[in-house]
Amino acid sequence: MMTIIIDGKELAKKVRSNLKIECEELRKKGIKSKLAVIMIGDDPASKVYVRNKSRACEDVGIEYEEHLLNSSITQKELIDLIKKLNEDKTINGILLQSPIPSNLDINEAFRTIVPEKDVDGFNPVNVGKLVLNQDTFVSCTPYGIMKMFEEYNIDLTGKNVVILGRSNIVGKPLIHCCLNKNATVTTCHSKTQNIKEITSKADILISAIGKANFVTEDMVKENAVIIDVGINRKDDGKITGDVDFESVKEKASYITPVPGGVGPMTVAMLMNNVIKATRRQNGMID
């Protein structure tokens, strides 16, 4: 069986060009769409992510407003800014780029972003809706992965899905996305015993750990679907995923590369969520 390399870059382009058309149609109706991004400090990786998001907005036709805050900002100043953006009628989506300095309470910040503008899907109300399988803003990385499955006709019904990682932004929402699509879901984390035994049974293996070459060929079932969320920087500055791509590829039926896999889809689904927020705030959808 030929291995299919899932082209996240191409698929993201397609999603974005459809959104561009939607955005133009909204504009013709006099409706503009705008994303506000808050970034605190100068984490180099965050800077790259924020730049990618601003470029994607420009490409799709979404207006973009950046709030770059010094890492000495207080919790009150951060919360006050979020409240101001909540009330600003010209802003449809609010995104707080993580990580933020550890003296600040990120949970309170996420809680403060009103659910209607929470395009990253991190407000507990939106997380709760995902758990209950209700319409919501799904966090962008898991949502991008689900979009890949849809576009490549990978049906999750009855499949054994194994997720490596249980973070609030990737692993946990993914559990519910896959469960909502009728998969049997197993989650592994740093305390899991005998990971290889578990991953070897996966029809679909999704790795979101952040360790280069963690997933090796001997951990993978023949013809499994492999989704690599990891972004790890190598000594030469290039990025690599969690999966030992070259060897695992030989066994997989589908596999995502890094770069060019999950990353671009994450940004595309953020754009999708901003447009959805705009439509909803203008009474065009429930």
Instruction: Give residues 200-259 in contact with ligand NAP (rule: CB under 6 A).
Output: 208-211, 229-232
CB 182, CB 133: distance < 8 Å: no
77: left (phi over 0), alpha (psi -120 to 50) or beta: alpha
Contact at 8 Å (CB) between 187 and 175? Answer: yes
User: Binding segment for ligand NAP among 21-29, 62-70, 73-81, 183-191 (CB under 6 A)?
Assistant: 183-191
- The active-site residue, picked from 34, 117, 118, 120, is 120
Could you tell me which of 283, 285, 267 has the C-alpha nearest to residue 51?
267
Q: How far is the CB of 145 from ligand NAP (least distance, A)?
A: 9
164 binds ligand NAP (CB under 6 A): yes
Contact (CB, 8 A) for 182 and 158:
yes
| 286 classed as catalytic | no
CA atoms within 13 A on the CB side of 267: 27
All residues at 6 or more sequence positions from 62 whose CB lies less than 8 Å from its CB, including other chains: 23, 33, 34, 35, 56, 271, 274, 275
The binder of ligand NAP chosen from 6, 19, 188, 255 (CB under 6 A): 188
Q: Which is nearer to ligand NAP, 188 or 277 (CB)?
A: 188
Distance in Å, CB of 186 to ligand NAP, minimum: 12
Q: Under the criterion CB under 6 A, does residue 190 sit at the interface with ligand NAP? A: yes
Residue 238 annotated as catalytic: no
Stretch that binds ligand NAP, among 67-75, 80-88, 116-124, 162-170 (CB under 6 A): 162-170
- 53 catalytically annotated: yes
Interface ranges with ligand NAP (CB under 6 A): 141, 164-167, 169-171, 188-192, 208-211, 229-232, 262-263, 266
